[in-house]
Amino acid sequence: DAGVTQSPTHLIKTRGQHVTLRCSPISGHKSVSWYQQVLGQGPQFIFQYYEKEERGRGNFPDRFSARQFPNYSSELNVNALLLGDSALYLCASSPITGGIGYTFGSGTRLTVV
Amino acid sequence: GNSVTQMEGPVTLSEEAFLTINCTYTATGYPSLFWYVQYPGEGLQLLLKATKADDKGSNKGFEATYRKETTSFHLEKGSVQVSDSAVYFCALIQAGGTSYGKLTFGQGTILTVHP
How far is it, in rounded angstroms, from Cα B94 to Cα A96? 15
Of B4, B43, B101, the CB nearest to A48: B101
What is the band of A6 on the pLDDT scale with cuts at 50, 70, 90? very high
Q: Answer with the residue of higher pLDDT: B86 or A1.
A: B86
Chain B contact set for A98 (CB, 8 A): 93, 95-96, 100-101
A101 within 8 A of A108, measured Cβ to Cβ: no
Q: Which residues contact B33 (CB under 8 A, 6 or more apart)?
A: B23, B25, B49, B50, B51, B57, B64, B66, B73, B90, B91, B92
Percent pLDDT > 90 in chain A is 83
Q: Kindly tell me if the per-residue pLDDT of B8 is higher than 90.
A: no
Closest CA to A77 of A21, A9, A34, A38: A21
Q: What is the pLDDT of residues A34-55, one digit of tens each?
A: 999 999 899 999 999 988 999 8
The answer to whether residue B88 scores a pLDDT higher than 70 is yes
A14-43: b (≥16 Cβ within 10 Å) or e: eeeeebebebbbbeebbbbbbbbbeeeebb
Q: For chain A, what is the radius of gyration of the CA atoms?
A: 13
User: How distant, in Å, are the alpha carbons of A18, A52, A87, B76, B78 from that of A33?
Assistant: 20, 12, 16, 29, 34
Q: Report, as an integer, the average pLDDT of B64-88.
A: 97
B103: chain A residues, CB-CB within 8 Å = 33, 35, 43, 45, 92, 102
CB-based contact B101 A41, cutoff 8 Å: no
Asked if the model's pLDDT at residue B99 lies above 60, the reply is no
Q: Using a CB–CB cutoff of 8 Å, tell me whether A25 touches chain B.
A: no
Cβ-defined contact of A43 to B46 (cutoff 8 Å): no
DSSP codes, B78-115? SS--GGG-EEEEEEEE-SSGGGTT-EEE---EEEEEE-
Taking one residue from A and the other from B, the number of pairs with CB-CB distance under 8 angstroms is: 65
